[in-house]
Amino acid sequence: MTEARTQTLDRLRAICARDSPVDIAEAALLLSAARQPALDLDPYRQHLATLVAEVADLVRRRRAPLEAMRQILAASYGYRGDRETYDDLQNADLARVIDRRKGLPVALSVIWMHVARAQGWRAAGLSFPGHFLLRIDAGAGAEIVDPFDEGASRSAPELRALLKSAAGQDAELTPDHVAEVDDRDVLLRLENNSKGRLLRAADVAGALAVMERMTAIAPNRAELWYEMGTIAERAESVGAAIRAYDRFLALTDTPHPDPERAALHERARRQASDHLRDLRRRLN
């Protein structure tokens, strides 16, 4: 790992260690910089500041808050969902999303969250499956917003239709589907998109680099370290696999209070220990 990339991941860890809400746009830009260590982030920061200022100016001129965001982000700057090349890895990289003005729902949502919060409004990602959505409250009541569709507000019937398209016709909308998630989960969902595409392309080295970023976002999530261990083994990175499994075992040393989770952890601990024995034999 290069020194620049190490420093970038250290800065990402520091941001994500803070109480939520975190500086989500800066964290996402650092993820871009971890992919491209020579990337200059200042033009992207300036662009985000311009979006914030232009939305604020419209609101001062009596434009309704969400209408102002749609005007600036979607109409003026052309941010939209990439329907044509949805699986392009660039769609999950915030810097490339800003360059191209298109991306995945979760990547676009990072921009919308940042701009809304900079106005002093409340904005949070939701746990909706298959299609990332936001809840934004600018003081006149919260609305569920779809940045992939130029910031359209989603009604309950529209949410129900989206859910069925993602989870099957038998799926029914519940409050859990629109529960707010922690900012770290938003960033993990962003990176998870890249990891899945890389694994499908058999790029395990690329997927391992994604796991390094994900464990920087949430270093105390035990399941991430176990997954990192399995991917590092596939990438034949023995040292990385050993470190990941060791970290997983350290994080799960105390039994989980939920009996079901505790049983899952115990089974995974046995498997991690078996993997570690095999890996250490390979080093001898």
Q: Give 283's pLDDT tier (boundaries 50, 70, 90).
A: confident
Residue 147 DSSP symbol? G
The pLDDT value recorded for residue 259 is 85
Mean pLDDT for the stretch of residues 135-163:
94
Closest CA to 138 of 153, 155, 123: 123
CA distance 203 to 221: 24
- DSSP letter for each residue of 86-140: TT-GGGG-HHHHHHHTEE-HHHHHHHHHHHHHHTT-EEEEB--SSS--EEEESSS
Percent of the chain at pLDDT exceeding 70: 100
Task: Examine the pLDDT at 167 and tell me if it is beyond 90.
Answer: no
CA distance 161 to 165: 6
The string of pLDDT tens digits covering residues 272-281 is 999 999 999 9
The pLDDT value recorded for residue 29 is 98
The pLDDT value recorded for residue 265 is 85
Inter-residue contact 221 to 237 (CB < 8 Å): no
Task: Examine the pLDDT at 1 and tell me if it is beyond 70.
Answer: no
Tokens of 24: 């989500």
Between residues 263 and 143, the one the model is more confident about: 143
Percent of the chain at pLDDT exceeding 90: 86
Domain boundaries, the chain: 3-178, 184-283
* Distance of alpha carbon 283 from the chain centroid: 35
Q: How many CA atoms lie within 13 A of 39 on its CB side?
A: 20
Closest CA to 34 of 251, 191, 229, 213: 213
The string of pLDDT tens digits covering residues 113-124 is 999 999 999 999
pTM of the model: 0.94
Inter-residue contact 210 to 201 (CB < 8 Å): no
The pLDDT value recorded for residue 11 is 96
The pLDDT value recorded for residue 59 is 97
Inter-residue contact 103 to 147 (CB < 8 Å): no
- List the 142-146 sheet strands across, edge first: 122-125, 134-137, 142-146, 152-153
Tokens of 116: 């809304």
- The CATH number of 184-283 is 1.25.40.10
Q: Where are the beta strands (DSSP E) in the chain?
A: 80-81, 102-103, 122-125, 134-137, 142-146, 152-153
Mean pLDDT for the stretch of residues 136-142:
92
Q: How many CA atoms lie within 13 A of 254 on its CB side?
A: 2
Mean pLDDT for the stretch of residues 158-175:
90
Mean pLDDT for the stretch of residues 191-212:
97
